[in-house]
Structure 1
Amino acid sequence: MPRGHKEALRAAARTLLRRKGLQATTARDLVEESGTNLASIGYHFGSKDALMGAALTDLVRDWTERPVTASRAVHGAGQGAPLAAGLRTMLDGLGERRAEVLAALEAVVASGRGDPVGAALPGALRAALAAVAVEVRASAPDLDEQQAAAAAAVIVALHDGLALLSTAVPDAVPAPDAVLAALVGLGADLQPVFAERGGTRR
């Protein structure tokens, strides 16, 4: 097969994921968008579903890399600065990513139903959680691995929940700084309960 077909197909899949969604994209759509041929899909990816799964993985990785890069840019700037920068970047512009969010929601439903087109989602999310956990520990080194993993799950769930809200009730999604203020307030409210339990983080 000509060199470049694999990259062209993956780029086309990312474009169509945003334009048409996960399941509405056909093999012929992919061929037309990429300028390749049907045989290229099987040769490089095995199936159309596997190609769309690769594009979905790219999407989740992009969502993760943006806040991770922002967090790393302010390492050493003071306690909480990396986490705050990552959270702001993660939540900024959710409304502008509506098509991507809807595609991800399709993948959640497909994965839950055992549909092959959603098979790549669990692995992509595990990679995202691991990357976020690394940044959490860099920002809060007193946390152990289990605590950092729990924090990463909360952060990813915060993003995904607000992303879901942005597709249905966009005017209800708070600004990133308002989210940070809410987290600080909730932390202060929960601190007495935490102290009563002897400081356990379980």
Structure 2
Amino acid sequence: MGHREDLLEGAVRCLYEKGYARTTARDIVEASGTNLGSIGYHYGGMANLLNAALERAVENWGMELAGAVLNADAEGLTGAARFETYWQHMIDTVTAHRPVLMATFDAFLQMDRSAEVRKMLVNGMRDARHLWAQVFHGIDPELEPVRADQIGSLYQALISGVLVQVLINADDAPTPQDLTAALRAVAASL
């Protein structure tokens, strides 16, 4: 790896260890084995590097969640069993990824002051919606962009809402079985 990738990986590690707000340039340099000048040279500054690290870490978490759905498929699970297996995995991963997931809230607070952060969040949300539509329902966002946005938006709303509830109080958050029961009740009333 070169300094650019070393910095990015070091910054991701720092997000997990210290969180977004408490990570310093010196922390990243120590974690990456690079030097302070490399941050400006490769990323144009600390904020850009932290934002890139946050984007990478959240993307990695999203791909892990997508893998959980694909693993459920490989196990031959369908319907509610597949849905509940995914949600259990999602809830379980919140603990391991908590510092990075909390860091996303720091990014939300910056988006009104930073066009780059807003762009990162907008693009990340769009990519996530398309990923959920594709992984859960096999919808190709290139061929069916409206349908992918609609279905992906529902999953993203569920993920965001459950995520917040688990971060606030995992013991009081909905279980996968609660989500299945609620989804059935809502679908029956339509």
Q: Is the 8 A contact 1:9 1:41 kept in 2?
A: yes
Higher helix share: 2
Counterpart pick for 2:41 among 19, 43, 47: 43
Going from structure 1 to structure 2, the CA distance change for 1:136 and 1:188 (only over 3 Å counts) comes to same
CA distance in 2, matches of 1:51, 1:62: 16
SS of 1:68's equivalent in the other structure is helix
- TM-score, length of structure 1 as denominator length: 0.76
When residues 8 and 78 of structure 1 are mapped into structure 2, their CA distance, relative to the original with a 3 A threshold, is closer
Q: CA 1:153–1:78 in 2, change beyond 3 Å: closer, same or farther?
A: same
Q: Pick one of 24, 49, 52 that aligns with 2:50.
A: 52
**Residues 60/116 of structure 1: CA separation in 2 closer, same or farther (3 Å cut):** same
- Contact 2:80–2:180 (CA<8 Å) still a contact in 1? no
Q: Which has the larger displacement, 94-103 or 42-51?
A: 94-103
Amino acid at match of 2:185: G
| Residue of structure 2 in register with 1:114 after alignment | 113
Task: Mark the structure with the bigger radius of gyration.
Answer: 1
Aligned match of 2:157: 157
Residues 19-38 of structure 1 correspond to what in structure 2 (within 5 A)? 19-38=17-36
Q: Cα offset for 1:13?
A: 0.8
TM-score norm. by structure 2 comes to 0.80
Which consecutive residues of structure 1, in runs of 5 or more, have no partner in the other structure? 191-202
One-letter identity of the residue aligned with 2:7: L
Per-residue deviation, 1:65: 0.9
1:171 aligns with 2:180: no
Matched with 2:61 is: 63
The Cα offsets for residues 47-95 of structure 1, whole Å up to 9 and x where unpaired, read as 2111111111112212221222232341694764796254443333424
Deviation string 1:155-189 (CA, Å, 9 cap, x unpaired) is: 11211122222232222112223322322222122
What is the root-mean-square deviation of aligned Cα atoms in Å?
2.8
Moved >6 Å (runs of 4+):
none
Trace 1:96-135 onto structure 2 (pairs within 5 A): 96-111=96-111, 113-115=112-114, 118-119=117-118, 120-135=120-135
Contact 2:68–2:86 (Cα < 8 Å) also in 1:
yes
Q: SS of the residue aligned with 2:138?
A: helix
| Secondary structure of 1:174 counterpart | coil
| Letter matched to residue 103 of structure 1 | A
- Amino acid in structure 1 at the alignment position of 2:134: V
Q: 1:110 Cα deviation (Å)? A: 1.2
1:89 aligns with 2:99: no
Q: Counterpart amino acid of 2:167? A: T
The residue number in structure 2 matching 1:193 is none
Alpha-carbon distance, 1:46 to partner: 2.0
Q: Which deviates the most, 62-71 or 130-139?
A: 130-139
Rounded to whole Å, the distance in 2 between the matches of 1:176 and 1:39 is 47
1:83-119 Cα deviation digits (max 9, x unpaired): 62544433334244322221111111111x2236734
Letter in 2 for 1:121: L
Contact 1:28 1:38 in 2 (8 A): yes
Following superposition, the deviation at residue 130 of structure 1 comes to: 1.9
- Name the counterpart of 1:200: none
What amino acid maps onto 2:104 in structure 1?
A: A
